[in-house]
A and B are shown apart, each in its own frame.
Chain A
Amino acid sequence: MSKILIVDDSSFARNSLSLLVQNGGHEVVGYASGGLQALEMFESLQPDLVALDYLMEDMNGEEVLREMLLLNADVKVIIISGSGDHTLKQRLLETGAKMFIEKPDVRGRILNVIDQVMQA
């Protein structure tokens, strides 16, 4: 079981992802609706893994990822994105994200991806 921080500005996305990962036996230790809140919770909750939305109002996922890496270079972040940017996945993986999931694929992939990232 992993302790997971969920970061997404959509409550629908947060809640549905929460249900998926809890059904997979993981613990959701916190929910953040923006980048700044995510960074605060990341420091205080020390999750094993962060499920991080890319497109958010106050900071985008890339900015949040960079800040988290400064706080903990070993952080395990899965980026979840609805963006159509063709270059985004490669850029985020090079920045330090462990995995990248497109939003329509979350339901089918998230538990396998969590297992892969935690076992790596």
Chain B
Amino acid sequence: MLGNQSKLTSEQNRIFDRFLIDSTEKTIRALENVFGLQIDSSSSSIEISPFLDSEILKRLGGGLLYTVSSSMLGDLQGRTVLLMRADDFESLSEVMRPILTMLFLSHPDTDLSALSNGRPDWMTDDSGKNGSDQAFQDQIMDTLAEIGNILIGLYTKAIYRNFDLNSHHSVPKALRDPQQHTIRQCQTSLETRDDQHLVIENEFVVLGKTIKLWSLISPCRQSFGKILGNIEDRQKSPPGNTAHCPGQALISVSY
């Protein structure tokens, strides 16, 4: 079991690097497909680290978070959490507003005659920015949960492709988390302080808005051991076309 990130070998780094590139590429493609939006560019980092030592997680800062949590089941057991800061959630809301408006207006159950006195508040720019309209908040939280569902599924697929571990996830829960309880829950659920986590930071640019998303993949101790064991088993397989980052566990790529 690794005690800290500096103990990763170059081969382990290479596989985690490949995992990051694989999952990020699929994530970009998935978001483009699901929302019909072009994602212009992105940068991504992955860190394999004990929770409290994570440099990437420190960049989240304090304050309000929006989170999507899910349990991982199967060969790889543990927890996956997506984390978004309030300003990134605002940006997501602005990007999604026209799409959600179109879906609302085109839905056959929508009573268009009820809109004769004006559109709901959440369809106007100002109310949504204030986050004051509950209907829009519900819609965007539902969308966030669906984004989480798709992304967590993509991560589990990437885990299968890169680490040979077949897993699936439970129904994701989206949560507005003003006190960062989600992070505290992750801390208290640790078996030991040295347990390793995969921490990923993705930056997407959509319609001119930069949106950052943090992903925390927290396998149980035994499952992380399986990841490392499977990397060792695959060391004789041909290397991918990714850069080596010998002796480091903090890996970044840009698109």
Contact = CB atoms under 8 A, between A and B. Distances in A.
Interface stretch (A6-14, A36-44, A69-77, A92-100): A6-14
Interface stretch (B123-131, B166-174, B221-229): B166-174
A85 B158 CA distance: 11
A28 interface: yes
Interface string B137-159: 00100110110011011111111
B171 A16 contact: no
A83 B169 contact: yes
Given A11-B139, A11-B142, A57-B171, A84 B107 contact: no
A107 B171 CA distance: 22
B145 A10 contact: yes
Given A31-B109, A82-B146, 4 more contacts: A12-B142, A82-B150, A86-B157, A103-B150
B108 interface: yes
A83 B160 CA distance: 12
A106 B108 CA distance: 20
A11 B107 CA distance: 11
Interface string A54-94: 01110000000000000000000000011111111000000
Contact of A84 (B103, B145, B156): B156
A15 interface: yes
B146 A10 contact: yes
B167 A85 contact: yes
Contact of B154 (A10, A57, A84): A84
Contact of B171 (A28, A56, A84, A103): A56
Interface of A: 9-13, 15-16, 18-19, 22, 28, 31, 55-57, 81-88, 102-108
Contacts of B155: 84
A88 B34 CA distance: 21
Contacts of B26: 104
Nearest to B151: A82
B33 A107 contact: yes
B30 interface: yes
Given A16-B103, A105-B33, A84 B146 contact: no
Given A10-B145, A104-B30, A107-B36, A83 B107 contact: no
Contacts of B102: 19
B116 to A, nearest CB: 22
A88 B168 CA distance: 9
Contact of A104 (B107, B154, B159, B167): B154
A104 to B, nearest CB: 4
A104 B150 contact: yes
